[in-house]
Amino acid sequence: MTSLTQTDNFPIPCHQIHNGKVRSVYWLDEHHSRDMCSHNGISYSDIGIMIISDRLSAFECLWGNGVPGKGAALNAISLHWFQEFQRLGIGDHHIISTPHPLVWVVQKAKPLKFEGIIRHYMAGSMNRLYAKGHRTFGGVKLPEWISPNQKLPEPLITPTTKGIVDIPTVSTHEDAPISYSQIVTYSQDFGLLELGDLSRSYEMMQRAAQVLSDSLELAGQVFVDTKFEFGYNHKNQLIFIDEVGTPDSSRFWSLKEYEKGNIVEASKEGFRQYLLSNIDPDVLTDPQRMDQRKQVALDFEVPSSVIADISTIYSDLAFAITGQILPVMDNPREEIMQVLGDLSLLT
């Protein structure tokens, strides 16, 4: 299986390309947007072609030369959860169609300028800060007695922002924690059309996270935490965007091992821990050392055995969650070009 690592060089007729850590989105011109809306039987909306790669990101950097099957796993898992949330009436999403395992046709949404992380267990960055004496997260004060990897008294939402909104004391270097009250104070700056949509987003996160928790338990996994992103569609409805419930945006643990007192990661957190064990943690976690971190990421060689393990984690999770085996792609770029040609989306 070949990894797809470059996603910003497809000859798609567009007026803008947005490149993320693992995806590229080609925003079509009006003519092609109208054609795609007509093709899918929907009212007009700006349309994007989102192509996902197999790139491996952690600590805001890219590592190695991709993980075979990773992109297809992320798309399959996200699509499963998005459709489940829609079926249960929790909220709609931005995906219009999925013409290829690595390609989504999406409607453009005006994103809220914060991400919501909902946590069911003491883990990850919150655990590291808690161990250093921090007790307030997302504006909520936690008790003194919580141990690492312990289930929290109640699900906790800890929103973050990337410095897009100018808030005193909030870092502009990378994801920075904020509180519910800060979002209320700067609601328009965060992109909220109505203040009530903030409580609506929190409700959507709580309900969606419970769906993840219940479903993953049946699949033998502990749902630890996940990230949600939201935006307004062309009807000004609040919808889920980006990805959801994936091993990139979430933490999962083996339920069988957790019941024995062991933590066995079934998400990208295992790779993060690998990096923390092999690279100076201060370089990986200090926002002031981002330039040094990027250089380390360029120079660091991820062993093939680690890449193979990550690939297995992603494919196994995709099967456990969706019940479908990931397709084998020997030439993903050629396949995507064929699909784009069939959709008349090549210049």
Q: How confident is the model at residue 271 (pLDDT cuts 50, 70, 90)?
A: very high
Write the DSSP symbol of residue 287.
Answer: G
> Number of C-alpha atoms within 13 angstroms, CB side, residue 219?
20
Q: Which CATH architecture has domain 112-271?
A: 2-Layer Sandwich (3.30)
Which amino acid makes up residue 137? F
- Whether the pLDDT of residue 299 is over 90: the answer is yes
Query: For position 54, what pLDDT does the model report?
Result: 97
Which amino acid makes up residue 283? V
pLDDT in tens, 206-226: 999 999 999 999 999 999 999
**How would you class 271 by CB atoms within 10 Å of its CB: exposed for 0-12, middle for 13-18, buried for 19 or more?**
buried
Q: Taking the model in full, what pTM does it have?
A: 0.93
Residues 186-217: b if buried by 16+ CB within 10 A, e if exposed: bbeebbbeeeebbeebbebbeebbebbbebbe
Helix 70-87 vs helix 196-218: crossing angle, to nearest 10: 110
Higher model confidence: residue 168 or residue 327? 327
C-alpha span between 260 and 251 (Å, rounded): 18
Nearest to 340 by CA among 9, 3, 109, 72: 9
pLDDT in tens, 311-322: 999 999 999 999
Query: For position 1, what pLDDT does the model report?
Result: 73
71-82 average pLDDT score: 98
Q: Pull the structure tokens for residue 276.
A: 């923390």
Which amino acid makes up residue 49? I
C-alpha span between 80 and 97 (Å, rounded): 13
Beta partners for 159? 116
Nearest to 231 by CA among 200, 252, 259: 200
Query: For position 268, what pLDDT does the model report?
Result: 87
Give the residue extent of every domain in the chain: 14-109+326-342, 112-271
C-alpha span between 171 and 177 (Å, rounded): 9
Q: How confident is the model at residue 173 (pLDDT cuts 50, 70, 90)?
A: low
pLDDT in tens, 14-44: 999 999 999 999 999 999 999 999 999 999 9
240-261 average pLDDT score: 95
C-alpha span between 265 and 271 (Å, rounded): 9
Domain 14-109+326-342 sits in which CATH superfamily? Phosphorylase Kinase; domain 1 (3.30.200.20)
41-58 average pLDDT score: 95
Question: Which of 86-95, 166-175, 336-345 has the lowest average pLDDT?
Answer: 166-175
Query: For position 176, what pLDDT does the model report?
Result: 84
